[in-house]
Chains A and B, each alone.
Chain A
Amino acid sequence: MDMVNRPYASAFEAYAVQHPEVLCLSADLTSSCEIDGFRDRHPEQFLSLGMAEQNMLSFAGGLGLAGFRPFLHSFGVFLYRRPYDQLMASIAYPRRKVRLMGFLPGVTTPGGMTHQAIEDISVMRTIPNMTVLEAGDATEVESIVAEADRVDGPVYCRILRGSVPRLFDTPLRIGRMRVLAEGDDVLVVTAGITTEEAIRARGALARAGVSVRHLHLNTLKPFDAAQIVDHAASVRHGVVTLENHLVVGGIGSMVAEALAEAGLARRLIRLGLQDTYAHGGSRPYLMRYYGMDALALVRAIEQLTGHATGIDEGALEAVRIEAVHSAVKAEAL
């Protein structure tokens, strides 16, 4: 698989230097969010706001009022948990063009509960005026910068950092989900890092005779419920959602709401964090431990079809192992 090093760093710099009204804000996680090079090369476009996220969000609202489009860089969890009131009052309500770049979504960090944004989608999608995007590969990380900046209002993005696989060759476009497979047994809906997991499972499932329809979402709000319903209607056995997030409030909930409102009766299995916090550990370990990986998807599909596939871990392609201390990461986190 083609791996790309630090796709955000180069994409943001290339875009921002062309747009002087774009500002780069950081809350003491500058190298961790891959904007240290930008800070060093373009200090006039960079604002250090320190470990003070409440101020950073309201400050960004003020910058938006002055006509700037600030990109806020931090771990996703720090952009909404503590400064939620500021997010609401200073950014979301007045529709400021603030771009919240949330790194380390879900279990992509070994930092444990305090660092893992596991309810960010559920929080962000309930906020009026908010757009919610999630990058699933290097191409989407690269294209999310300009795409987010087209939004007439605030936008929250789940960003992948470090060494990121390239799965797609066309850029992320807001509102356009990717149809990755058009089978007719089960519908699998994924986003972010879970798309790679589903791709790992698909080969083995095909060999076992299971026909999978696979959708990759990069736009979580606005959510294209009609298209989800159409795809769900075209499969025999039901739907599995697999997300790097709590199943309540996230993609599982969105799909359930879509099916219910359309009156479409399909079984639905929601994979992800099941009303639980996660803890610190490697990404493959956490995905296995919490039932969010390729094997969990296979088992859910077996449950829907009622047939054992015979697939075990060996039948799945090798899990991509990332060294904890990778040269492309600023720190162990």
Chain B
Amino acid sequence: MRNEKSTEEVARGIRARVFEHTIRNNGGYLSQACSAAEQLAFLYNEALNLGPSTMPMVPPPFSGVPSASNTGYVTGAGYNGPFDAVHDRLFIAPAHYALVAYACLIEVGRMAPEGLEMFNKDGSSVEMIGAEHSPGMEVHNGTLGIGLSTAAGLAWGRKRLGHAGRVCVFMSDGEVQEGQTWEAVQAAAHHGIDNLWAIMDVNRQQCDGAMDDVMTVGDIATKFRDFGAVVAECDAHDLPALRTAAATPHPGRPLIVLAHSRPTQGMESLMSRFPRLHYVRFKSEEERVRMNAEIAAELGVAPVPLEAH
């Protein structure tokens, strides 16, 4: 399924929606839109083979957690299309990127804009940290490091079942601090799981600030190769480079695309907050008003009318 928009337009739309949401709500995962907009746009708009959404455009309310008695339970994965042998599956491993992922779903026509209005509202399925039942999500990934392992298991199973569809994981670079990430790569390499690939947003930021200050991780490309993956590196904001990297052959091994990104791409005004970028909450009304004007100008959109909220 291909969207009407170009991938560049989808990426621009993601930044604009997350910007608008963050200004209105005086907080949001705004930097993640800067670093990851092209990656998610690329995945949804061209890289992944996804069928049409099986879910309503306006997300249904929260309908309970999985239990023996909750027989109608479904995950949010239907927004990515049907589960069949030919289509790909996508996990958003850093579940706090949910706001960015929801914005992407809207841009590619899989969710109505009203969906974002439900973000982090009580009783909504459009949760702040993407849950299984949130649009576009299939498994819980709120604790970082578990996504790649789960995807490796699913990919092994799909290979055994003869599925043509692949399994893709959108990852964040902070996850390389978790030991489980390395366990997952070594297992995927050991078992020759080559229908598995990941695209990692290497923005070099984490909750406490710049990764180099919080915990040095060294040369992650070499580390991934040493653990058995095929690694391709590219500029995360260069779509032709992303395409080339994602097309890297990786027979018998998982592919990890390291997409080197900038945490303020498209919104350079955010650099005034560096390194406090993980969750942007404006320190004062003055800062909010200034950022509204400056970032809107950078994005080429109108400032968000604040008095309406």
CB pair B140 A54 closer than 8 Å: no
Q: Which residues of B contact A253 (CB under 8 A)?
A: none
Query: What is the CA–CA distance of A116 and B152 in the complex, to the nearest angstrom?
Result: 30
Query: What is the CA–CA distance of A68 and B67 in the complex, to the nearest angstrom?
Result: 19
A75-104 with Cβ < 8 A to chain B: 85-86, 89-90, 93-95
Distance between B89 CB and nearest chain A CB, rounded to angstroms: 9
Residues of A at the B interface (CB closer than 8 Å) are 47-50, 52, 54-68, 85-86, 89-90, 93-95, 128-129, 152-153
Residue from the list A48, A59, A67, A128 in contact with B150, Cβ < 8 A? A59
Q: Which residues of A contact B190 (CB under 8 A)?
A: 48, 50
Q: Which residues of B contact A153 (CB under 8 A)?
A: 68
Q: Which residues of B contact A48 (CB under 8 A)?
A: 190
Instruction: Determine the residue in chain B with the shortest Cβ distance to A55.
Output: B183
Residue from the list B65, B153, B160 in contact with A65, Cβ < 8 A? B153
CB pair A54 B153 closer than 8 Å: no
Interface of B is mostly: helix
B140-189 with Cβ < 8 A to chain A: 140-143, 145-146, 149-158, 160-161, 179-180, 183-184, 186-187
Distance between A256 CB and nearest chain B CB, rounded to angstroms: 25
CB pair A94 B66 closer than 8 Å: yes
Check if B132 is an interface residue, CB within 8 A of chain A: yes
CB pair A62 B150 closer than 8 Å: yes
Distance between A13 CB and nearest chain B CB, rounded to angstroms: 20
Query: What is the CA–CA distance of A48 and B187 in the complex, to the nearest angstrom?
Result: 9
Query: What is the CA–CA distance of A169 and B52 in the complex, to the nearest angstrom?
Result: 55
Check if B2 is an interface residue, CB within 8 A of chain A: no
Query: What is the CA–CA distance of A94 and B139 in the complex, to the nearest angstrom?
Result: 8
CB pair A47 B132 closer than 8 Å: no
Query: What is the CA–CA distance of A93 and B142 in the complex, to the nearest angstrom?
Result: 13
Distance between A306 CB and nearest chain B CB, rounded to angstroms: 45
CB pair B66 A93 closer than 8 Å: yes
Check if B243 is an interface residue, CB within 8 A of chain A: no
Distance between A73 CB and nearest chain B CB, rounded to angstroms: 16
Instruction: Determine the residue in chain B with the shortest Cβ distance to A61.
Output: B150
CB pair B142 A62 closer than 8 Å: no
Enumerate 23 A-B pairs (CB-CB under 8 Å) in ascending A order.
Answer: A48-B190, A49-B187, A50-B183, A50-B186, A55-B183, A58-B150, A58-B153, A59-B187, A61-B149, A61-B150, A62-B154, A64-B153, A66-B157, A86-B149, A89-B141, A89-B142, A89-B146, A90-B139, A90-B149, A93-B65, A93-B140, A94-B140, A95-B66
Distance between B189 CB and nearest chain A CB, rounded to angstroms: 11
Known: A52-B186, A54-B180, A66-B160. 11 other contacts (CB 8 A): A55-B149, A56-B187, A58-B180, A59-B150, A65-B157, A66-B156, A90-B150, A94-B132, A129-B66, A129-B67, A129-B68
Q: Which residues of B contact A52 (CB under 8 A)?
A: 183, 186-187
CB pair A59 B66 closer than 8 Å: no
CB pair B153 A62 closer than 8 Å: yes
Q: Which residues of B contact A59 (CB under 8 A)?
A: 149-150, 152-153, 156, 184, 187
Instruction: Determine the residue in chain B with the shortest Cβ distance to A94.
Output: B66
CB pair A47 B140 closer than 8 Å: no
Sorted nearest first, the 5 A-B pairs with minimum C-beta distance are: A62-B153, A66-B157, A58-B149, A55-B183, A59-B153
Query: What is the CA–CA distance of A67 and B160 in the complex, to the nearest angstrom?
Result: 11
Provided the pairs A55-B180, A55-B184 are in contact, do residues A63 and B156 lie with their beta carbons within 8 angstroms? yes
Distance between B122 CB and nearest chain A CB, rounded to angstroms: 20
Instruction: Determine the residue in chain B with the shortest Cβ distance to A68.
Output: B157
Give the most central of B75, B132, B152, B183: most A CB within 10 Å.
B183
Q: Which residues of B contact A90 (CB under 8 A)?
A: 139-140, 146, 149-150
Instruction: Determine the residue in chain A with the shortest Cβ distance to B138.
Output: A65
Check if B191 is an interface residue, CB within 8 A of chain A: yes
Q: Which residues of A contact B180 (CB under 8 A)?
A: 54-55, 58, 86
Q: Which residues of A contact B179 (CB under 8 A)?
A: 54
Q: Which residues of B contact A85 (CB under 8 A)?
A: 143, 146
Distance between A236 CB and nearest chain B CB, rounded to angstroms: 38
Query: What is the CA–CA distance of A129 and B70 in the complex, to the nearest angstrom?
Result: 11
Instruction: Determine the residue in chain B with the shortest Cβ distance to A48.
Output: B190
Q: Which residues of A contact B132 (CB under 8 A)?
A: 93-94
Query: What is the CA–CA distance of A99 and B143 in the complex, to the nearest angstrom?
Result: 23
Query: What is the CA–CA distance of A49 and B190 in the complex, to the nearest angstrom?
Result: 9
Query: What is the CA–CA distance of A57 and B142 in the complex, to the nearest angstrom?
Result: 16
Query: What is the CA–CA distance of A171 and B135 in the complex, to the nearest angstrom?
Result: 45
CB pair B184 A61 closer than 8 Å: no
